[in-house]
A and B are shown apart, each in its own frame.
Chain A
Amino acid sequence: MLPRISCRILILVVIAVLSPVLIHAGDGRDAGPSKGALGNIIAMYQKHISVVDGDRCSMVPSCSEYASQAVDKHGILMGCIMACDRLLRCGGDDTNTAEILYRNSRKYFLDPVEANDFWWVSRNHANQ
């Protein structure tokens, strides 16, 4: 018999992963080219949590959008690794070197997926 708290956590994870109704209610959008469960988690965060929490990411694209693009481009495993890397770097030393954008009088730092995978993507293309 599992401890009660572990059961609750497990139920929460299941709801988060398998809840397309919560994510796409009323908007008629497709789930996108990705990523199944992971895409659902990111989309649910963007739709329900980020809206309440507010747009606080100082980088462009935002961390959730970056994660989504990374997973789309490189698959779930590399996408997750790149997303975790981005979460660690967000608002850190990259702000000293990244290109600055201004949107709605607010300063953002440009950090696309291409700026973080150029060193192995180009080599893969060269080898192919």
Chain B
Amino acid sequence: MNRLCQIILGCIIICILQVPPRPYAADLIINSDMQYDYAMACFESHDFSTAVVEFKRFVYFFPEDDRHYSARFLVGVSLFSLDRLAEAAEVFQRMSSLPGDNPLALEAHIMLGKLYLKQGESALAEAQLRNVLMLTRDPAIQDRVYAALGWIYLEKSQALESGALKSAKSWFGKISPDSQKLFSKSDILDTIHHMENFKDKNPILAGIAGIVPGGGFAYTGRIHDAVVAFFVNTALILASCRSFETDNPILGSIVGIVASGFYSGSIYGGISSAYKYNSAQRRQVIETLKQAVPVAGPDSEPWGRSHGLLLSLRFPF
């Protein structure tokens, strides 16, 4: 038994001695290029949450690097892509106050415009973009802003805002010939011309037609709604009249009040359906246009390293 134990122990010791030693791992020193490249790789692969962290790490550890500002800007773009709009706004607002000769200051203004649009604040977005026009004479940037403002007004035309189509046409018309193809100016202007000649449903006529219960709905092609409105209103009006005829004034009054509500509702519905019809027509055309028009041009200026950074103004946002 003792001998057996000695043999086993000896085998174990031999096995341990046979295990190869771990290779010596060298220390890894990360320089600014490596850190920036890694952050950019995360950004380009749309891993925006990691990109935020890594660009912030770059800014912290390499504050003197030339790419400091572009890293901060890309933090903002990543936050924007993650829908962390309040934080992104803070970044862009700080960057927009950089000296005017820094191109990122203008880009920050444009990004603020996109941000306000994403928040549904089209008036603020418009104001921001108009600021860019006052700050630059670069035709390429001006064309981007003209296209952005044109699209804002095109979107407003869906809500039937008066003068929106005319404003959209005016902004797109200002795009220079050099950028015409990039922003599909002629296609968009053709579409606007087509929209201006739409055969809209007249809400006033719909309201007048609504005097006959369901008439307003029928005018806008909503036959199901028209039939329901006609029968409900007719039944209620007849019920009210019948109640008064059979000496039930209180019942007649109550049914009469309900009937007047539904009658008003059918007139309102007729007018509303005319507006909805007109809005739906525009929405359909604009959606088709968005599918047909390519992304409004990449910004090919190199930021940071040799490859360019896509700072395109995408529609829709």
A interface vs B, CB < 8 Å? 2-3, 5-6, 9-10, 13, 80-89, 92-94, 97, 115-119, 122, 126
**A94: B residues at CB distance < 8 A:** 225
Given A6-B250, A13-B254, A119-B160, A81:B264 Cβ within 8 A: yes
Instruction: Report the bound CA distance from A126 to B160 in whole Å.
Output: 12
State which of A6, A13, A80, A88 has its C-beta within 8 Å of the C-beta of B266: A88
The binding surface of chain A is classed by DSSP as helix
| Chain A CB within 8 A of B108 CB | no
Using CB atoms, name the residue of chain A closest to B229: A88
Instruction: Assess the B248–A122 pair: CB atoms within 8 A.
Output: no
**Interface footprint category on B:** 20 to 34
Instruction: Assess the B250–A88 pair: CB atoms within 8 A.
Output: no
Instruction: Report the bound CA distance from A29 to B254 in whole Å.
Output: 30
Instruction: Report the bound CA distance from A97 to B284 in whole Å.
Output: 11
Instruction: Assess the A119–B250 pair: CB atoms within 8 A.
Output: no
**B280: A residues at CB distance < 8 A:** 97
The binding surface of chain B is classed by DSSP as helix
| Chain A CB within 8 A of B173 CB | no
Interface window among B13-21, B35-43, B267-275, B287-295: B267-275
**B203: A residues at CB distance < 8 A:** 119
State which of B217, B225, B265 has its C-beta within 8 Å of the C-beta of A81: B265
Given A6-B251, A93-B222, A93-B224, A122:B269 Cβ within 8 A: no
B interface vs A, CB < 8 Å? 159-161, 203, 217, 221-225, 228-229, 232, 247-251, 254, 261-262, 264-266, 268-269, 272, 275-276, 279-280
**B221: A residues at CB distance < 8 A:** 93
Given A115-B276, A122-B161, A88:B262 Cβ within 8 A: yes
- The residue in A9, A87, A88, A93 that gathers the most chain B C-beta atoms within 10 A of its C-beta is A88
Distance from A100 Cβ to chain B, minimum over Cβ atoms (Å): 15
Instruction: Assess the B232–A88 pair: CB atoms within 8 A.
Output: yes
**B269: A residues at CB distance < 8 A:** 85, 88-89
Instruction: Report the bound CA distance from A88 to B272 in whole Å.
Output: 13
Distance from B73 Cβ to chain A, minimum over Cβ atoms (Å): 35
Distance from B285 Cβ to chain A, minimum over Cβ atoms (Å): 15
Given A9-B254, A83-B265, A97-B280, A88:B248 Cβ within 8 A: no
Instruction: Assess the B247–A81 pair: CB atoms within 8 A.
Output: no
**B254: A residues at CB distance < 8 A:** 9, 13
State which of A81, A93, A97, A119 has its C-beta within 8 Å of the C-beta of B223: A93
A–B pairs, 18, beta carbons within 8 Å? A3-B248, A5-B251, A6-B248, A9-B250, A9-B254, A10-B250, A81-B261, A84-B262, A85-B269, A87-B262, A88-B232, A88-B266, A89-B228, A119-B160, A119-B203, A119-B275, A119-B276, A122-B161
Instruction: Report the bound CA distance from A86 to B232 in whole Å.
Output: 13
Instruction: Report the bound CA distance from A13 to B266 in whole Å.
Output: 25
